[in-house]
Structure 1
Amino acid sequence: MNTTLENTTTATPSPGASPKRIYTLQLLTVFIGFLIFGFSENIKGPAIPRIQLELGLKERQIGTLLSLNSLGYLLACSFTAHLIRKIGIKAVCLLAFGSMVLSGILIFLSRSYPELSGSFFLMYIGNGMLEIGLAVLGARIFIRNTGMMMNLAHFFYGLSSAVAPIMASGLMTLAVGGRAIDWREVYLLILLLAVLPMIPAIAGKFPDGGHSDEDRIPLRTIAADPVIWMLIAILSFGVISEMAVGGWLVNFLEKAYGWDGTAAAGMLSVFFICFTFARLFLGPVTDKIGFTLSVIIFSALSGLLTFAGIAAGEPGAFLFAAAGIGIAPIYPTVMALIAQRYRRGGDTAITFIVTLMGVSSVIGNYLIGAIISGIKNIVAASRGAEDGLLLGLQAGYMFIGLCALLCSLSAIPLYRYLKKRGELL
């Protein structure tokens, strides 16, 4: 695969619009978009224990709920690139933001597990469309210092991810008119914020793909590149490890160690603080030492810190937060690699990789819930329910750390393959 494909073109300035203003509006859409993305993804940390209690759900049902969410994300990934070619990236971003607002309203109205599952499913369709849309937009506008700029864009995702658990947990302790704010109202309030990035998106002009359909790299050519399949393995393990923390860390700390909701949400926020500033400060490092080597080093660090946290017990809980330093650069660094390697087929490559990565995410979320339930039931039969729950939660969290290590191991063949051909990025 040719690694020197030409740069994509930027949007042609409309009369009276300066290139600087156009680029500023593009940046605002990407950065604010990632802020909203982080909020929508990570309210679930403190919300899930309350959803589980109110609706009487088991861990396996929670795992299934998260898997259905990933399925909505996967569905969106499968059609978003085609939609971008048909209606344009601007319309796709607006549609994604709008569906997130609608899902917030539907979550607010949900009163049963099926209704909630359907509402979350829609939210993740919006998230999936937004993920592809922002990734494609970033690949088109971040021509120079791609690794740094991709990590900077995803820094905003980490920033809102750090704030989201504390904000959601704090809101759920407030009372308005003598009635406590519940998780439904928190989702409504936060998802309504998706209106904000619609403003620069409407006002701005976005770049097209820069190539006719005839000039694009066809999907069959991209699928025949061994690098694509290595990247799918890397992202699959890396994203399972990254996303699972938002869904399971609070649950783990509350049930395994008896932490209250505020303290557990606080530790999740510390994870995202580490995660956020790792993306801010390690972005230039990825450009300097190379994208592939960065993935090997940082994902291994995350996995080792996670296993150390489990081995140390409750005093080592801070290591779960520190693991965010390692896992944070993985996704944006791989996106930067894709943007550099597949200039003529970036939208197709991103969609193909993220769609297959989404399949792994569906399986991974389900496996975590199934591992927790399975180990809990086996151990509870011989050692009691308390030991069963603790060991089940530890086993589920060990799977999260294992995925980070497998991400690192999956990057080693890619490093060797690219180095042998003189194509390291």
Structure 2
Amino acid sequence: MPDQIAGPDRATQPLLQPASAQYGGISDTDATPKPPWPTHDQHHIHHDGVSTTKGKTLRIAAAMFSFSAMGLLLSTIGLMLPALEAHYRLDDAQVSLIFTVAPVGYILATCLTGTIHARLGRRGIALVGPALQLLATVGAGLHPGRYEVFVACLGVGSVGIGLLDGAWCSWAGGSMGGAANTVSGLLHGSFSAGAGLGPLLGGLVMVQGGLEWFVWYYILAGVTVIEGVVLAIAFRNDTAQKYLEERAYLVTELSNGAEDESTSLLNGPSDTDDAGPAIIAYENGIEQDSRGPAKPTAHHSFSSSSARAILTHPVVWICAAFLLVEVGVESSVSGWVVLFLRRARNAPVQLAAAGSSAFWIGQAVGRLSLGPATDRYGLQRAVTVYLVGVVVFGIAFALLGLGQQGGEDGEEQQRSSSSAKLSVALVALMGVFCGPLFPSAIVQLTSALPRELHVGAVTYVAMIGQIGGALLPVCIGLLIQRLGIETFPSVVVVQIVLALGFWLLFPVAVKGEARRDERESLRA
């Protein structure tokens, strides 16, 4: 089945295009047709006199601001670990509980998003999401007496982030027509900008401003208020009726046997960047992918029978194992690097915060810049090189602090400062090569599976990735509590080597899927 088993070069087209194609414009080959259903975005003047172009531009700008706010919120976790340990008198194992809030919040958002869309429309998401974020930031700013309550507050905010993430990505993929890829790139670029600035700005508040750590959460609360106002204005006309009309059109088309046409209508070039944690949500049977455009399912649900069919494919298990480790590595580095730089490399607060920012910015640079190399050399070979690059820079990061003890105090302090600065640079390079890993795995998976299994398979492996994003940082917290913070880089290197091992198993699984399809076609 040539359409289902694509070669590496072809497989990279949807997700790992050159930056000019992915974010700067849409070519004739990957342009997505505009939705034929009547919407407020097409040939329509709103009752308030706002034209189509102005209304769409406002919504895009509002969604971009929302993604920037999400980046600020999520990147704050790593920055706050040292302050939380000091304030709540926690050890490394206890403070690692904070890493569980984002995946749990996203899972809860998955359960709620369909109901909110159906009853309140996108403007309901525009109100509920920022409201939950506001509750979380105000609650965290009040620095409750118990750490568990503080973590619960952040969990409320994670639900809001999950709702907004999935809603705006699915909206961009399903309502932007040929501009879906460009708009999706703008959204995830905005997230990267917010995530990169978050630790730096938070560090400035605490160091230059001389303020307590929890004041940063009050500043974030102000950002969420602005976010809520902007989103409420931009999506004020996106009612439940409008959403249901769009969904009804898709269901009608699918029931009439137009599945392929509808899928091509909404699928478009997918942007599966890892801007922080993101999973697949469902809105009454229509996939809402927080990493890319929405796609209708063939049967309008992820049934138990389809789940069993998906799990019979070894490539799904390999991809799930790879993402379990890969997402865990990203969460571990961005979460623990600030504490590591301060404690093991004696970095000042501002420089340690720059370490987290450097990793986020490095990921964005990697996603934008490595697409052409992936297209040229092929997905399997290119990602293998990327993983080896992460291992090399990870080893250099781990070895950097060795042999730096001894000498006069002034010389030791100078060496420590140089080591911390070089550590930040190495973390940034690790981020560059980590950037394309998640979308590459999704491309490799979907290129090996029949089209009708794509939705369920991507849902499953993305969920496993979220588990890794919570589990591995917690495990690192337990290890460094027992063995010391100096073990952090070594553990990260081991995890990356494990991810490389899983990636090298992909070709065997892909060939097995091809042989399986040949046997099934012969029996048919």
TM-score range, shorter chain: 0.7 to 0.9
The offset of 1:322, in angstroms, is 0.6
Of the candidates 288, 302, 310, which is equivalent to residue 219 of structure 1?
302
Which amino acid letter does the alignment assign opposite residue 368 of structure 1?
A: I
Deviation at 1:268, TM superposition (A): 2.4
Question: What secondary structure does 1:167 align onto?
Answer: helix
162, 184, 188: which is aligned to 2:196? 162
1:288-318 deviations in Å (ceiling 9; x for gaps) = 7777766555344334422332134347522
Aligned-partner SS, 1:257: coil
Contact 1:236 1:361 survives alignment (8 Å): yes
Distance in 2 (alpha carbons) for counterparts of 1:338 and 1:370: 32
**Aligned runs of 1:380-419 on 2, under 5 Å?**
389-390=485-486, 392-399=487-494, 401-402=496-497, 404-405=499-500, 408-409=503-504, 411-412=506-507, 416=511
Assess, with a 3 A threshold, how the Cα gap between structure 1 residues 370 and 237 changes in structure 2: closer, same or farther.
same
Whether 2:295 is the aligned partner of 1:187: answer no
Aligned partners of 1:212 and 1:124: how far apart in 2?
30
Deviation at 1:45, TM superposition (A): 2.5
Q: CA separation of 1:418/1:153 partners in 2, compared to 1, >3 Å: closer, same or farther?
A: farther
Tell whether the 8 Å contact from 1:375 to 1:395 is kept in structure 2 after alignment.
Answer: no
Q: State the shift of 1:61 in Å.
A: 0.7
Aligned pair partner of 1:278 in 366, 369, 393: 366
**Residue 327 of structure 1: how far off its partner (Å):** 1.4
| Distance in 2 of aligned mates of 1:342 and 1:191 | 45
Between stretches 27-36 and 59-68, larger displacement belongs to 27-36
* Runs (5+) with no aligned partner, structure 1: 377-388
**Which is further off, 320-329 or 217-226?**
217-226
Cα drift, residue 74 of structure 1: 3.1
2:234 alignment counterpart: 203
Give 1:126 deviation, angstroms: 1.9
The answer to whether 1:12 aligns with 2:45 is no
Q: Which residue of 1 aligns with 2:430?
A: 323
Tell me the C-alpha RMSD between the 2 structures: 4.0
Q: Which residue does the alignment assign to 2:477? A: 369
The 3 A distance-change label for structure 1 pair 222 and 135 is farther
Question: How far did 1:120 drift?
Answer: 1.5
Q: CA deviation at 1:355?
A: 3.2
Q: How does 1:91-110 map to 2 (within 5 A)?
A: 91-110=124-143
User: How big is the shift at 1:82?
Assistant: 5.7
Instruction: Give per-residue Cα distances to partners, 1:208-240, cap 9 Å, x unaligned.
Output: 455228753231365333465554334332222
1:77–1:286 CA distance, 2 compared to 1 (3 A): farther
**CA displacement 1:80-116 (0-9 Å, x = unmatched):** 3565456544433542222112111111112221221
TM-score, normalised on structure 1? 0.78
**Aligned residue for 1:301?**
389
Does the CA-based 8 Å contact 1:152-1:279 persist in structure 2? no
CA distance in 1, matches of 2:65, 2:502: 29
Larger CA deviation: 327-336 vs 353-362:
327-336
Distance 1:342 1:76 in 2: 28
In structure 2, relative to structure 1, the CA distance for the partners of 1:271 and 1:73 (3 Å cut) is same
Instruction: Summarize the alignment of residues 49-68 of structure 1 with structure 2, pairs less than 5 Å apart.
Output: 49-68=82-101
Distance 2:163 2:111 in 1: 9
Shift in alpha-carbon separation, 1:26–1:222, aligned structure 2, 3 A = farther
Q: Which letter maps to 1:125?
A: V
Deviation of the 1:165 alpha carbon: 0.9
Query: What amino acid does structure 1 have at the position aligned with 2:141?
Result: F
Instruction: After superposing the two structures, state which structure 1 stretch, 306-315 or 330-339, moved more.
Output: 330-339
Could you tell me how far 1:263 is from its partner in structure 2? 1.3
Are the equivalent residues in 2 in contact too, given 1:237–1:403 (CA < 8 A)?
yes
Cα displacement string for residues 51-74 of structure 1 (whole angstroms, at most 9, x for unaligned residues): 111111100012222224433333
Q: Kindly provide the amino acid, as one letter, of the partner of residue 362 in structure 2.
A: C
Which stretches in structure 2 are left out of the alignment for 5+ residues? 6-31, 256-296, 402-418, 519-524
Whether the 8 Å contact between 1:148 and 1:283 is mirrored in structure 2 is no
8 A Cα contact 2:391 2:496, kept in partner: yes
Which residue in 1 is equivalent to 2:155? 121
More helix by share: 1
Contact 2:323 2:464 in 1 (8 A): no
Deviates more, 1:24-33 or 1:54-63: 24-33
The alpha-carbon distance between structure 1 residues 65 and 200, as it changes in their structure 2 partners (threshold 3 A), is: closer
Structure 1 residues 68 and 157 mapped into 2: Cα distance closer, same or farther (>3 Å)? closer
What is the CA-CA distance between 1:159 and the residue it aligns to?
1.4
Partner SS state of residue 344, structure 2: helix
Q: What is the letter of the counterpart of residue 473 of structure 2?
A: N
**Deviation for aligned residue 1:29:** 4.0
Q: Count how many residue pairs are aligned between Structure 1 and Structure 2.
A: 404
What is the alpha-carbon distance in structure 2 between the residues aligned to residue 84 and residue 335 of structure 1?
A: 27
SS in 1 for 2:214: helix
**Aligned partner of 1:258 among 346, 350, 362:** 346
Change (3 A) 1:181 1:312: closer
* SS of equivalent to 1:43: helix
Equivalents in 1 of 2:367, 2:500: separation in Å?
19
Corresponding position of 2:167? 133
1:152-171 deviation per Cα after TM superposition (whole angstroms, max 9, x unaligned) = 53222221111111100001
When structure 1 is superposed on structure 2, of 47-56 and 295-304 the one drifting more is 295-304
Contact 1:139 1:339 (C-alpha < 8 Å) held by counterparts: no
Q: Is the 8 A contact 1:149 1:283 kept in 2?
A: no
Write the distance in 1 (CA, Å) between the matches of 2:433 and 2:189: 14
Identity of aligned pairs, percent? 19
Q: Which residue of 1 aligns with 2:331?
A: 243
Structure 2 contact 394–489 (Cα < 8 Å) conserved: no
Larger Rg: 2
Assess, with a 3 A threshold, how the Cα gap between structure 1 residues 96 and 276 changes in structure 2: closer, same or farther: same
Report if the CA contact (8 A) 2:35-2:177 is conserved.
Answer: no
> Which secondary structure does the structure 2 equivalent of 1:369 belong to?
helix
